[in-house]
Each structure stands twice: as structure tokens, then as C-alpha cells.
Amino acid sequence: MSSSGASISEYITTKRPHSKEYAPSHVETYQPDEDIFAAAERYTRYPNRWSKIREYIREPAAEFFGVMIIIIFGTGVDCQVVLSGNSAVASSSKGDYLSINFGWAIGTALGVWLSGGISGGHLNPAVTIAFAAFRDFPWRKVPVYIFAQLMGGVCGAGIIYANYIHAIDLFEGGRHIRTTPGTAGLFSTYAADYMTSVSCFFDEFLGTAILLLVVCAITDKRNGPPPAGLVPLVLFLTILGIGASLGFQTGYAINPARDLGPRLLTSMVGYGSAVYTYRNHYWIWCPIIGPIVGALVGVFIYDTFFFVGSESIINRPNANARRAHQRAVSAERQKPIAGTEEV
């Protein structure tokens, strides 16, 4: 302990007004060292006006920048690999399909690393909706989270579009030529031609259900979760595995914000309404509805067969347990959604 700390302790314990060692007359005239009060500085969460504003926007901002990082790395690697395959852009290809898998996995890990301790690192409307439906994430936060995630996708895609616009011009044949799927597929997902509508939906459903099973497992303290700080690594492996095993046919959106955010951007920069009308409005029922349904089913399966914590609606006490004032104990290693415990 520092000397100033010792002085404070001594002053508090031996020089207080009711101490026998100090008579009231002495207390009236006693002037403690200024250093003592300087060391006894008080702390506050709000040292200035901006700190109060920041308190309200921290979680949405974390979701926004987390998704933006995912899109920057993900669509960035798409552009680099595909565009470099054109001899007008590069002398040789700068990557392959595995490079794309790694790019999206790295983007996801870094995005979660940035946002996990602040917002819970959802970075995915399907995750947000699933945890609101089955766990204790408040529904009042759902619209704010989803809006922040979508805007993060728009901004991330805009940054990459600006970065690769000249390469896209060379690839397409001109500034005013933009094709769908064509280079629109560098930003959003478009299924392989041989895929039926049912197959497309199932592909996205399956990948997202697996993702949520893993997310539930790594936040369950009764199921061997990874050490603190290693959740992004687990998600890196998960996204890498989903991409390498299930990603080819539909582009493994498994995240409505990852697809819709960049799709909004492409519709604004010259690709037009074709990004929405493709395959009878593919954009809504495959990369949006498919992941949401898959996330709900993934959490339902995990909570039904494995999770024993009170956070899940599956484990809510029945009438007999309520009469006995009994409930399940908390079983999450840490709240997967930041701030829930304060609601």
C-alpha cells in the first residue's frame, strides 16, 4: 500500500472526531494534509456529459461496429478472391474458396471480440430473436439491436464497395454496368441455379440451427464452456466449419443482417430492384426467414435436451414448483446478452 493510502487509513481510524485520542477542541482545529484527500478521490460512471449519452448507445453501437467488422472482412475477401480472377484486375487469383471461409470466420471472431463484453455479441438478428423468445433477453431491446445490426451491414458493405469500386468497374466492363447476381453476389447471398426453393431454405435453416446449438453450449456453465475470452475462437471454428461444409450452395448467410444490410447497399449503388426480385424474392424467405427459424429451433433443441438453467422458458417452474417457491438455478456461465441482469 502506498504511503498516502496508509495516511488515509491512519486518519480514519485514529483521528476521527469521537476518538479518545482527539478531544473536540483538537478536532475543530485539526487540518489534515491535502494529499490525504487527493488520494481519497471519488469515482463516478459519468465524468462528463458524453459519458451519460454513451451509456444509452453502448450496446447498439457494439452491435453496429461488430457487424460492420464482419462485413468488412467477409465481403472484402469475396471481392479479393473473385475480382482478382479477372486478368484485367490482377495477374493471378488472390485466393480460393477456403480463403473466403477464413475471411468470414475471422470477421465473425473479431466482431464478437469487439462487442461481446458490451452487448453480448449477437451480431445477428436471428440470435437476438431466439434469445428473446427462449431466454431472458428483453423484447424491448430487440428492435434497437436489429436496427443497429442492419446499419452495420450497410456501412460495412459501403466501405468495401468504395474500396473495390475500380476493380468492380473493370470486372463488369464499366462504371454504369452492375449485374445481379454477378458482382452483387460479392455482397449478398444468391443460391446455386440447381437449388430448389425448399432446398435453399433448408440449407440456411440447417446452418443457423447448428450455429445456435454451439452458441448455447459455449454460454452454458454446466457444459464445459471455453475459458473467458476464448468464445471468439470457438465461433471462428464454427463459422469456418459451416462455410467449409455447408456454404457452397446458398453462400451460408446464416445471419439476416449479413445479407440484408449489404443487399440494401447494392440496391442503392446501381444494382437496383433486381437484388430483391431475384428468384421470386429469394432475399426474404431464404437468408432472412430461414436463419430466424433455424435459430429458434436450435435454441429450442438445446434447451429441451440439455439446458437446466432458469434463464430458459423451457425450465420455468410449473404450478407445483411455484407453490413450493422453487425454481431452477441460473446455469449460464455468463449472461450471453449484456445488461439482461439489470432488467
Q: What are phi and psi of 220, to 5 degrees?
A: -100, 110
Q: For residue 321, is it within any domain?
A: no
- Distance between CA 43 and CA 296 in Å, rounded? 42
CATH number at residue 226: 1.20.1080.10
- Distance between CA 76 and CA 131 in Å, rounded? 30
Q: So what's the pLDDT on residue 33?
A: 58
**Residues 212, 295 contacting (CB under 8 angstroms):** yes
pLDDT at 23 over 60: no
Q: For residue 1, is it within any domain?
A: no
Q: For residue 11, is it within any domain?
A: no
Q: What are phi and psi of 332, to 5 degrees?
A: -90, 135
pLDDT at 191 over 90: yes
**Residues 107, 240 contacting (CB under 8 angstroms):** no
pLDDT at 68 over 50: yes
pLDDT at 133 over 50: yes
Q: For residue 62, is it within any domain?
A: yes
198 contacts: CB under 8 Å, gap ≥ 6: none
Q: Which residue(s) pair with 332 in the sheet? A: 220
Cα 70 off chain centre by: 9
The model carries a pTM of 0.84
pLDDT at 47 over 70: yes
Q: For residue 336, is it within any domain?
A: no
How many domains, the chain? 1
Residue 217 has a CB neighbour count (10 Å cut-off) of: 16
Q: What are phi and psi of 173, to 5 degrees?
A: 105, 10
Q: For residue 227, is it within any domain?
A: yes
Domain interval for residue 142:
57-310
Q: How confident is the model at residue 328 (pLDDT cuts 50, 70, 90)?
A: confident
Q: How confident is the model at residue 37 (pLDDT cuts 50, 70, 90)?
A: low
- Mean pLDDT across 329-343: 56
Nine-digit cell at 13? 481510524
- Distance between CA 291 and CA 107 in Å, rounded? 19
DSSP 207-251: HHHHHHHHHHHHTBTTS-PPPTT-HHHHHHHHHHHHHHHH-TTT-
**Residues 302, 216 contacting (CB under 8 angstroms):** yes
Residue 48 has a CB neighbour count (10 Å cut-off) of: 9
Q: How confident is the model at residue 19 (pLDDT cuts 50, 70, 90)?
A: very low
Q: Where are the alpha helices (DSSP H) in the chain?
A: 3-14, 24-29, 34-39, 49-83, 97-119, 125-134, 142-172, 197-218, 231-246, 256-268, 274-277, 282-285, 289-305, 319-323
Q: Which CA distances in Å does 110 have to 62, 219, 229, 301? A: 12, 18, 12, 28
Q: Which residue(s) pair with 261 in the sheet? A: none
Q: Is the C-alpha dihedral spanning 19, 24, 25, 28 positive or negative?
A: positive
- Distance between CA 278 and CA 261 in Å, rounded? 16
Q: For residue 172, is it within any domain?
A: yes
pLDDT at 337 over 70: no
Q: For residue 52, is it within any domain?
A: no
Rg (CA), the chain: 27
